[in-house]
Amino acid sequence: MQFTVKSGDPEKQRSSCIVVGIHESRRLTEHAKRLDLVSKGYISDVLRKGGIEGKPGQVLMLHRVPNVPSERVLLAGCGRERDLSDAQFVRLSATAAQTLNDMGVVDAVTYLPELHVRGRELPWLIRKTVESTREALYRFDQLKSKKDVARRPLKRLTLSIPNRKVMPDANRAVAEGIAIANGVELAKNLGNLPGNICTPTYLADQAIALGKEFKSIKTHILNESEMKKLGMGSLLSVAKGSRQPPKLIVLEYFQGKKGDAPVALVGKGLTFDAGGISIKPSADMDQMKFDMCGGASVIGTLRAVAELKLPINLVGAVPASENLPDGAANKPGDIVTSMSGQTIEILNTDAEGRLILCDTLTYVERYNPRAVIDIATLTGACVIALGKHASAVFGNHHPLVHELLNAGKHSYDRAWEMPLWDEYQDQLKSNFADMANIGGRDGGAITAACFLSRFAKKFHWAHLDIAGTAWRTGSDKGATGRPVPLLTQYLLDVASSK
């Protein structure tokens, strides 16, 4: 899929299709008016006859509009003028892309980026047009023997801009949109792969492949014996119940100033979570193949950053393992010693994410990071608390939490802060070890974050619980690629604050 930007009037474009907006109720946008004028009222006539009301998401394809050189015109409903929200814009732009693709339009010019979205400016609309178009056309069909491909798929989309002055900003927004979409797509593909294909070794191989594709990324994989030497007793205990060897995937991207402290992203890479001996109920257990989406988002974000050549120092670390029941698996009551030296009583083997993350948090201490952000499908309790629209964010440093919240708002990949108060820490008390790995039913997402905070004392740290946002269920079951947009925006902000 190719994206370009261009300024120029719709009635002068020679393309297979022009996309213009119609507001509610049947009000022409400026660009629709121009087409209406040259066609001597053809468009307003269609509207008068009830073709389209202008509700967000409605579309109507017109063929051979008089005096318009382009073959077709797609009218796209845009809701009430001056009242368009982020969500509506993203949805209507995806619907437009889907319609073009379905109707055999190979190249089109869209005027939707010139719409007015509350609180947003042109570069945002351009970036989101690119992202939502890519999202709409995404299919995960690599494992289907018969692929359902469009006969004439959309190949080129030209995004209109009001004048040439904004060209540099617009081009940058396109490049950002493409890089984010590529990162999202990589995270989705990894997430959607089943556990029998996407094993810890497979994830590691993909990270190595990314290092080959981008010279700026250096990948190292730590194997079991190296982790043993480092004393990662907690991480290794989770992998004991699996026949797949665990991997600690480390990606280094050092394109900032020499000596600048890096940001470290730590992503849970649990390639299948059956719960271990504290086995999960069988209904919907297939969804636990998505338990590596945090790790996938780290790999996807590194891809986006490398493509944008951001002048920053960044480390990605992904502990990868399965969590299965087995004779050698962790048992409730087992006590393990983490790399930090702290001991952990494993009261529930299904609270395994924190067990692999804690040693990885200790591992990244060696980079003296300026900030560490972990991303994990950590708790079902987070889905109960926030549902599927917001990721939870916790942290031990307020400016960092705020930077992430703002990056989430800006990228429309939102997060919501949850408390990390000392009072909750008491729930992790163990009679036999330094701490238990669970804190009871109350505030389950919070006590999971409390557990991690004990391994994050030496740096500024934030934790994103993406259990509700990393994948969709139901008829469009699949990984979302979140929070790659949030993380990339955060790193764009880090790069521009230098």
Q: Which two tokens stand for residue 429?
A: 């008390």
Residue 97 contacts by C-beta under 8 Å, 6 or more apart in sequence? Answer: 132, 133, 136, 137, 154, 157
Nearer of residues 11 and 352 to ligand BES, judged by Cβ: 352
Binding residue (CB under 6 A) for ligand BES from 467, 479, 486, 491: 467
Residue 14 contacts by C-beta under 8 Å, 6 or more apart in sequence? Answer: 69, 70
Q: Residue 273, interface with Mn ion (CB under 5 A)?
A: yes
Is there a contact between 135 and 184 (Cβ–Cβ < 8 Å)?
yes
CB of 206 to ligand BES, least distance (A): 21
Please tell me the count of residues contacting ligand BES according to CB under 6 A: 16
Nearer of residues 345 and 352 to Mn ion, judged by Cβ: 352
Binding mask 219-258 for ligand BES (x = CB under 6 A): ----------------------------------------
Q: Residue 273, interface with ligand BES (CB under 6 A)?
A: yes
Amino acid 228 reads K
444 touches, from Zn ion, ligand BES, Mn ion, none (C-beta below 5 to 8 Å by class): ligand BES
The catalytic site residues sit at: 280, 354
Residue 384 contacts by C-beta under 8 Å, 6 or more apart in sequence? Answer: 444
CB of 61 to Zn ion, least distance (A): 45
Give the whole-angstrom CA distance, residue 372 versus residue 378.
17
- Determine the interface stretch with Mn ion among 81-89, 326-334, 348-356, 464-472 (rule: CB under 5 A): 348-356
Nearer of residues 273 and 374 to Zn ion, judged by Cβ: 273
380 touches, from Zn ion, Mn ion, ligand BES, none (C-beta below 5 to 8 Å by class): ligand BES
Nearer of residues 58 and 379 to ligand BES, judged by Cβ: 379
- Determine the interface stretch with Mn ion among 96-104, 110-118, 347-355, 439-447 (rule: CB under 5 A): 347-355
Q: Which two tokens stand for residue 82?
A: 């001056």
Task: Give the chain as a 3 state SS string.
Answer: CEEEEECCCHHHCCCCEEEEEEEECCEECHHHHHHHHHCCCHHHHHHHCCCCCCCCCCEEEEECCCCCCCCEEEEEEEEECCCECHHHHHHHHHHHHHHHHHCCCCEEEECHHHCCECCCCHHHHHHHHHHHHHHHHCCCCCCCCCCCCCCCCCCEEEEECCCHHHHHHHHHHHHHHHHHHHHHHHHHHHHHCCCCCCCHHHHHHHHHHHHHHCCCEEEEEECHHHHHHHCCHHHHHHHCCCCCCCEEEEEEEECCCCCCCCEEEEECEEEEECCCCCCCCCCCHHHHHHHHHHHHHHHHHHHHHHHHCCCCEEEEEEEEEEECCCCCCCCCCEEEECCCCCEEEECCCCCCHHHHHHHHHHHHHHHCCCEEEEEECCCHHHHHHHCCCCEEEEECCHHHHHHHHHHHHHCCCCEEECCCCHHHHHHHCCCCCCEECCCCCCCHHHHHHHHHHCCCCCCCEEEEECCCCCEECHHHCEECCCCHHHHHHHHHHHHHCC
Give the whole-angstrom CA distance, residue 466 versus residue 31.
40
Nearer of residues 291 and 374 to ligand BES, judged by Cβ: 291
CB of 296 to ligand BES, least distance (A): 14
Q: Residue 273, interface with Zn ion (CB under 5 A)?
A: yes
Q: Which residue of this chain has its Cβ atom nearest to Zn ion in the complex?
A: 273
CB of 464 to ligand BES, least distance (A): 13
Binding residue (CB under 6 A) for ligand BES from 105, 381, 390, 487: 381
- Determine the interface stretch with ligand BES among 89-97, 376-384, 414-422, 474-482 (rule: CB under 6 A): 376-384
Q: Residue 291, interface with Zn ion (CB under 5 A)?
A: yes
Binding mask 276-315 for ligand BES (x = CB under 6 A): ---------------x------------------------
Q: Residue 353, interface with Zn ion (CB under 5 A)?
A: yes
CB of 480 to ligand BES, least distance (A): 13
Q: Residue 444, interface with ligand BES (CB under 6 A)?
A: yes
Q: Which two tokens stand for residue 25?
A: 């109720």
CB of 267 to ligand BES, least distance (A): 13
- Determine the interface stretch with Mn ion among 103-111, 223-231, 345-353, 490-498 (rule: CB under 5 A): 345-353
Among 128, 138, 127, 59, which Cα is nearest to 87's?
128
- Determine the interface stretch with Mn ion among 63-71, 108-116, 119-127, 349-357 (rule: CB under 5 A): 349-357
Binding mask 338-367 for ligand BES (x = CB under 6 A): ----------x-xxxx--------------
Q: Residue 380, interface with ligand BES (CB under 6 A)?
A: yes
Q: Residue 307, interface with Zn ion (CB under 5 A)?
A: no
CB of 349 to Mn ion, least distance (A): 8
CB of 442 to ligand BES, least distance (A): 11
Q: Residue 350, interface with Mn ion (CB under 5 A)?
A: yes
273 forms beta bridges with 323
Q: Where on the chain is the footprint of ligand BES (CB under 6 A)?
A: 273, 291, 348, 350-353, 377-381, 383, 438, 444, 467
Q: Where on the chain is the footprint of Mn ion (CB under 5 A)?
A: 273, 350, 352
Q: Where on the chain is the footprint of Zn ion (CB under 5 A)?
A: 270, 273, 291, 353
